[in-house]
């Protein structure tokens, strides 16, 4: 990134907790905690077996209430949040959609709440947990590619569970160069550096295309029946969810049930960064939902989105410059993001809508039907996805100015 000096870039990395190679992924997640927390890791590491054998709830009821005071750094807190998130989802949904737990026991609820407050995250399994912080390398000296990657914690669903979370992680990793491009555009705009803006937009476009290509791995590694019939309920929350209409009571924390959304791609900081940079206007319920999803992101990631939102409008800036090259670079970004969203919409049809319309045997007591048309975040799925895709399409600059950058200069 020649147009931004290294010092400025490093200040951005530190402020927004991102890296050049991994973007928003947590670098080198821990897999162990101090021995005091062994019971958490023992449950989380054996979660699939405990859910399938219907033993998890009984073991959680025997858990002591542990204090999070021995968790001394960010990565320990993230691992604890991840472990308690997986255990909580397993506890709530162990018996499937017809018998979700109404109360999260104090031994889970209280430390989870306290850790969440320290991290600035909600006490539910978020996208930033299950995708950004739930990975390890099988061969630590090897590459970050799907054959060399594994999950720290898993749900029932076997290879489809691993594939779903790891492919999602690799899509986020493909976004890293686009995030660098967004930073380049941000700094170039401050000094009206038109070359820097154009180069940054090209990086964003290339990144979005790479994200779509990476997303295609989903079809090789995730079976629609396993995803819809087994895995999906375990990333479902308790807000706008007909299976838990009043929410979930966190024992020892609140006397009233709490409403929280499950993890979803709407919680991807990378996608919301691109929306913010490109001035894409999501209105009404869609816009309100996406804004609320920022509360499910790590605070530093949320801050980058808000910083990009606070910039003068890139789209208006480009229109005021009457440069066809810049408008074309911007439109290429928009088109790549539309393509990614269209591909996501088609993938959702394959993995959720079509299986939901079939009669399938569900291994976990009928977990298929409760969310057939609803996203894990609680939205009306296809309506939401079409809305974000169409809002992106509307941002295209339709009448390009006739003056090229070379002529202007």
Between CA 225 and CA 159 the distance in angstroms is 12
Residue 134 and residue 128: Cα distance in Å, rounded? 9
Q: Is 344 annotated as a binding residue?
A: yes
Query: What is the distance of C-alpha 9 from the center of its chain?
Result: 24
Dihedral angle computed from the Cα positions of residues 117, 120, 123 and 125, in that order, rounded to the nearest 10 degrees: -150
Q: Are 314 and 218 in contact (CB under 8 A)?
A: no
DSSP letter assigned to residue 278: T
CB atoms within 10 A of CB 279: 19
Angle at 163 between CA 162 and CA 165, to 5 degrees: 70
Q: Which residues pair with 380 in a beta bridge?
A: 374
Tell me if 367 sits within 8 A of 97, measured CB to CB: yes
* C-alpha–C-alpha distance, residues 123 and 119, integer Å: 10
Residue ranges for the known binding site are 344
Residue ranges for the known binding site for heme b are 344
């Amino acid at each position: 990134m020649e147009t931004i000096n290294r010092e400025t870039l490093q200040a951005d990395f530190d402020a927004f907790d991102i890296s050049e190679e991994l973007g928003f992924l947590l670098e080198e997640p821990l897999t162990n905690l101090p021995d005091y927390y062994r019971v958490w890791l023992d449950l989380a590491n054996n979660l699939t077996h405990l859910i399938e054998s219907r033993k998890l709830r009984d073991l959680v009821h025997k858990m002591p209430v542990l204090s999070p005071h021995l968790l001394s750094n960010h990565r320990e807190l993230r691992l604890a949040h991840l472990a308690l998130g997986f255990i909580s989802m397993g506890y709530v949904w162990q018996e499937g959609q017809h018998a979700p737990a109404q109360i999260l026991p104090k031994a889970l609820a209280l430390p989870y709440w306290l850790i969440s407050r320290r991290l600035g995250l909600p006490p539910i399994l978020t996208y930033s947990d299950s995708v950004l912080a739930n990975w390890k390398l099988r061969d630590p000296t090897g590459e970050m590619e799907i054959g060399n990657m594994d999950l720290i914690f898993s749900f029932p669903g076997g290879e489809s569970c691993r594939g779903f979370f790891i492919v999602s992680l690799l899509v986020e990793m493909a976004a890293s160069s686009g995030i660098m491009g967004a930073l380049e555009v941000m700094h170039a705009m401050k000094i009206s550096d038109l070359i820097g803006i154009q180069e940054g937009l090209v990086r964003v476009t290339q990144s979005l295309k790479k994200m779509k290509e990476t997303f295609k791995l989903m079809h090789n590694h995730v079976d629609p029946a396993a995803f819809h019939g087994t895995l999906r309920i375990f990333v479902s929350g308790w807000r706008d969810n007909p299976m838990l209409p009043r929410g979930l009571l966190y024992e020892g924390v609140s006397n009233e049930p709490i409403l929280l959304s499950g993890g979803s791609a709407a919680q991807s900081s990378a996608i919301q960064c691109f929306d913010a940079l490109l001035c894409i206007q999501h209105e009404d319920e869609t816009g309100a939902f996406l804004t609320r999803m920022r509360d499910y992101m790590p605070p530093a990631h949320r801050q980058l989105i808000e910083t990009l939102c606070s910039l003068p409008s890139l789209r208006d800036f480009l229109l005021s410059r009457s440069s066809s090259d810049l408008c074309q670079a911007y439109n290429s970004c928009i088109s790549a993001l539309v393509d990614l969203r269209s591909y996501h919409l088609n993938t959702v049809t394959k993995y959720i809508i079509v299986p939901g319309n079939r009669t399938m045997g569900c291994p976990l007591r009928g977990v298929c039907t409760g969310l057939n048309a609803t996203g894990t975040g609680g939205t009306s799925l296809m309506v939401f996805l079409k809305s974000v895709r169409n809002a992106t399409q509307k941002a295209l600059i339709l009448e390009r100015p006739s003056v090229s950058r070379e002529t202007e200069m």
